[in-house]
Amino acid sequence: MSADDAHHSSRPANRLIAETSPYLLQHAHNPVDWYPWGAEALERARREDKPILISIGYSSCHWCHVMAHESFENARIADVMNELFVCIKVDREERPDLDHIYMTAVQMLTGHGGWPLTMFLTPAGEPFFGGTYFPPVDRHGMPAFPRVLQGVAQAYREKRDQVRESVEQLRDGFVRAEQPPAATTAALAPDVAVTAAHALARHYDAEHGGIGGAPKFPNTMVFALFLRAWHASGDDRFRRMTVDTLHRMAAGGIYDQLGGGFHRYSVDAHWLVPHFEKMLYDNALLVRLALESYQATGGDAECRRIVEETLGYVAREMTHPEGGFYAAQDADSEGVEGKYFVWTRGEVMAALGDEAGEIVCRFYDVTDAGNFEGKNILHRTIDLEQLAGLFARPLDEVTAIVDDGRARLLALRGRRIAPGRDDKILTSWNALMIGAFAEASKVLCRDDYRVAAERALTFICTTLHRDGRLLRTFKDGQAKLDAYLDDYAFLLNAVLDVYEATFDLALVARATELAEALLARFEDRDHGGFFFTSSDHERLVHRPKPAFDGSIPSGNAAAAMGLLRLYHYGGDTRFLEAAERTLRCFSGGMQANPFGFAHMLAAADLYQRKPREIVVIGREDDPARRALLARLHREFVPDKIVVAADPAVRERLPVAEGKTQVDGRATVYVCHAYTCSAPATEWDVIAPLLVDP
């Protein structure tokens, strides 16, 4: 513990000390009289007729730490906050419902958003003014936080009419933003996903890969849509853009060259300098994209390396002993952003010696001058073949030197003070990573990945499940908070992913339970789509129905995708009809803003093009069945549904009913658009059935 930390922890604790969220606990010794969100804080605000200051962030947010140090740890500023407001601190990852409502409000008020989110509310929880980061003194055109506090409190006391007007304008804005007019809920345009991909491709950065300029985010859902467009249209530009972007990211500083895994985003256009936090969801989504690219290229080695190194990082550093996955790793260590990850040339040379040090420094572009505040973010500007040529050494020799150097530097880095880890377990983010492990187990034929997916799924379905309901978060032995749309929708898809890695029929039954809960407790039957909160959730100022992809896919898009997939397993038309209502609800948005609806467009593509329903009949212990499944899993066929059934087992899914072996051999049936092929036992016959004629 640093001296600074010891000083903070010596202060009397506020109400956050009873929470489990690492982010809230970071503020438990602030001089601010923080409340967690709940009835106690809201009742006090009503009783004293005080406005509420709600501050929303997350544990790995760099600027959240900055504002905390500058303002929330400042006794003078804290006194002003405590005198004028009821102060509430919220972890956006635990309460995404509150974050969505108040982030939407601040975006309407200011035209931008981000974290820390600073919002001012009436005692009824209604937003009327807000922003993001405020400095402690006037700086860079931004008003000082104490001045903002005084101004807002004065407005609440003396200008109630203006406050009420702001509240009503924001209420109207919520409705306009999330309830599309009837005119936009039309039928889907033909080939809507390919048309959208062509529009998005105009924003591709041909020089550095990725979409747009700095700051540059992975935009995983857009590139997943590009692969679909390549498969549907045959236009190889879409595949090249996706694979090139992955390669450039994996060579850049946004990728942890020693430990594997991706940082949050790059502050520059060429992927060099990241914000150093690592989020579970980014790594899950990028593993999935790399697996699809591996399939689409017929086995690109770099894409496989991305998958294996990233999952290795998650298994090593982000996995709970009982199988769940932790949420994030901080950007900062010892109070300095990126300190854990950067190197001087002298450090590398001292660790590896002159000969190996020169080779490794050249490979990772380590220089005396550095590329980040006098130090070096490791990245690659040449490949191993070029490195071997530069040093006139055999390729296998320099490869061994680099591999050994990488391992030694990783071990040395492990002795540094590591960034903080947010070790709460979130259902929705775990579902994304469970799906990534399950898909990797199939595509790469790795049983260890299947085991990881099954263990994590078991953890979620037991530990974060109570009285027939899913819960949102787990930390320190305590599971709590009702789950949201994302939790149910992402888990529905993850359960189906694990089914295809195991063919355990109980998982399809579990997926059906999740789908029925979506329809019963989340669906907007009047307009289509799904609300973010369940029908019996705490009543808030607004019940959001978000449709846009953010850093994770839209919950509405994931729900549509999962319901469509489940329909094709079991034929229950309730799920098809709910997905159709969702796609109609957001059809206008898909056409007007494909960037924000990339995952919804993927669901629309599944709906329009229909999946390949592939049934493999053969004994579970038959090597021929295993070989056929492995070959099928290596193929890039968007939305293929793979079902395996043992001829000796009577119980099977409806899609496999009536299908038998040919001459006692492992046999494959491929159905598409309500038409089934003849049974086939040879790959030469099966392969053409996986592509459109």
Residue 242 CA neighbour count, 13 Å, CB half:
32
Contacts of 330 by beta carbon, 8 Å cutoff, 6+ apart:
59, 60, 277, 419, 420, 421, 422
pLDDT grade, residue 60 (50/70/90)? Answer: confident
Inform me whether the pLDDT recorded for 65 exceeds 50: yes
Inform me whether the pLDDT recorded for 196 exceeds 70: yes
CA distance 271 to 218: 10
The reported pLDDT for the residue numbered 179 is: 59
236-281 per-position pLDDT tens digit: 999 999 999 999 999 999 999 999 999 999 999 999 999 999 999 9
The arithmetic mean of pLDDT across residues 193-208, rounded, is: 97
657-684 per-position pLDDT tens digit: 999 999 999 999 999 988 899 999 999 9
The reported pLDDT for the residue numbered 563 is: 98
**Class of domain 341-415 (CATH, top level):** mainly alpha
The reported pLDDT for the residue numbered 181 is: 47
Mean pLDDT is lowest, of 156-165, 180-189, 392-401, for 180-189
On the 0-12 / 13-18 / 19+ scale of CB atoms within 10 A, 399 is middle
Residue spans in the chain of domains classed CATH 3.40.30.10? 3-178
Inform me whether the pLDDT recorded for 544 exceeds 50: yes
Instruction: Give me the chain's average pLDDT, please.
Output: 94
Residue spans in the chain of domains classed CATH 1.50.10.10? 192-333+422-609
Cα dihedral angle (470, 476, 478, 479), rounded to 10 degrees?
Answer: -10
Q: How far is CA 89 from the centre of its chain?
A: 23
In percent, how much of the chain has pLDDT > 90?
Answer: 89
Residue whose token pair is 């094709």:
568
Ramachandran region of residue 529, left (φ > 0), alpha (ψ -120 to 50) or beta? left
Inform me whether the pLDDT recorded for 185 exceeds 80: no
**Class of domain 612-690 (CATH, top level):** alpha beta
Q: 399: helix, coil or strand? A: helix
* 692/485: higher pLDDT: 485
The arithmetic mean of pLDDT across residues 63-70, rounded, is: 92
Residue whose token pair is 């999935």:
288
Nearest to 690 by CA among 303, 221, 296, 304: 296
The arithmetic mean of pLDDT across residues 208-229, rounded, is: 97
Q: Is the pTM of this model over 0.85?
A: yes
Residue spans in the chain of domains classed CATH 1.10.10? 341-415
Q: How far is CA 558 from the centre of its chain?
A: 12
User: Residue 560 is which amino acid?
Assistant: A
The reported pLDDT for the residue numbered 10 is: 60
Could you tell me the fold of the domain covering 192-333+422-609? Glycosyltransferase (1.50.10)
Inform me whether the pLDDT recorded for 213 exceeds 80: yes
Beta bridge partners of 36: 89
Q: How far is CA 550 from the centre of its chain?
A: 9
Inform me whether the pLDDT recorded for 76 exceeds 50: yes
The reported pLDDT for the residue numbered 9 is: 52
CA distances from 493 to 128, 507, 558, 561 (A): 38, 11, 8, 8
* 639/318: higher pLDDT: 318
Inform me whether the pLDDT recorded for 177 exceeds 80: no
Check whether the bond before 181 is cis (ω within 30° of 0): no
What does 239-270 look like in DSSP terms, one character per residue? Answer: HHHHHHHHHHHHHSTTB-TTT--B-SEESSTT
Please give the DSSP secondary-structure letter assigned to residue 217. Answer: -
Could you tell me the fold of the domain covering 3-178? Glutaredoxin (3.40.30)
Residue 670 host element (H or E): strand 667-672
Inform me whether the pLDDT recorded for 1 exceeds 90: no
The arithmetic mean of pLDDT across residues 391-404, rounded, is: 97
The arithmetic mean of pLDDT across residues 63-83, rounded, is: 95
The reported pLDDT for the residue numbered 186 is: 63
The reported pLDDT for the residue numbered 2 is: 39
The arithmetic mean of pLDDT across residues 127-137, rounded, is: 95
CA distances from 107 to 91, 126, 612 (A): 19, 15, 42
